Amino acid sequence: MCLAVPGKIVSVIEEEALGLRRGRIDFGGVVKEACLAYTPEASVGDYVLVHVGFALAVIDEAEAQKIFDTLREMEQLEELNLADDSLLPPADIGRT
């Protein structure tokens, strides 16, 4: 059960009754509310992953970039015409 969609927090609503934070989240132009109780560190401007109405994680933008850096390195290696496979970057660069 895993469809979680990334969206940007555009506003936060602190709920008095049960102390549960909610946020209005922008998914590529569609705005829907989600509960932010599980991402207390999230604030306006952050991207969160939302699953069945709950934000489950704040997206780490630096980590998100890594795959593209790795792929760019691959491209550069290819361009330098290095056919030697042992020079392939390890698949787990910074991925622990």
Partner 1 sequence: MRFVDEYRDSEMASRLAESIRRRASRPWTLMEVCGGQTHTIVKSGLQDLLPPEVALVHGPGCPVCVTPLELIDKAIAIASQRDTIFCSFGDMLRVPGSSRSLLDAKAEGADVRIVYSPLDALRAARLKPSREVVFFAVGFETTAPANAMAVWQAEREGLRNFSILVAHVLVPPAMEAILSSENCRINAFLAAGHVCTVMGYEEYEPLSRRWHVPIVVTGFEPLDLLEGIDMAVAQLESGRAEVENQYSRAVRRDGNRPAQERIAEVFEVSPRKWRGIGEIPASGLRLRDRYRAFDADLRFATGIGEVNEPSECISGLVLQGLRKPFECSAFGTRCTPERPLGAPMVSSEGACAAYYHYRKAER
Partner 2 sequence: MKEASFSCPLPHPSGETVLLAHGGGGKLTHRLIENVFLPAFACAPLERRHDGALLEVRGARLAFTTDSYVVRPLVFPGGDIGDLAVNGTVNDLAMCGARPLYLSAGFILEEGLPMETLRAVVESMCRAACRAGVALVTGDTKVVDKGKGDGLFVNTAGIGIVEAPEEVSPAAVRPGDAVIVSGDLGAHGIAILSVREGLEFEAPIQSDTAPLWAPVEALLAAGIEVHCLRDLTRGGLASALNEIAETAEVGMAISEVAIPVAEVVRGACEILGLDPLYVANEGRFVAFVPQHDADRAVEVMRHLPVCALASRIGSVEQTPAGCVTLRSRIGGQRVLDMLSGEQLPRIC
Chain residues binding partner 1 by CB under 8 A are 1-6, 8, 18, 20, 27-28, 35, 37-40, 47, 49, 51-54, 56-57, 59-61, 63-64, 66-68, 70-71, 74-75, 85, 88, 90-92, 94-96
Alpha helices (H) along the chain:
61-79
Interatomic CA distance for residues 24 and 51, integer angstroms: 14
Measured on CA atoms in the order 80, 84, 86, 88, is the torsion positive or negative?
Answer: positive
Residue 52 found at the interface with partner 2 (CB under 8 A): yes
We find the least distance from the C-beta atom of residue 25 to partner 2, in angstroms, to be: 9
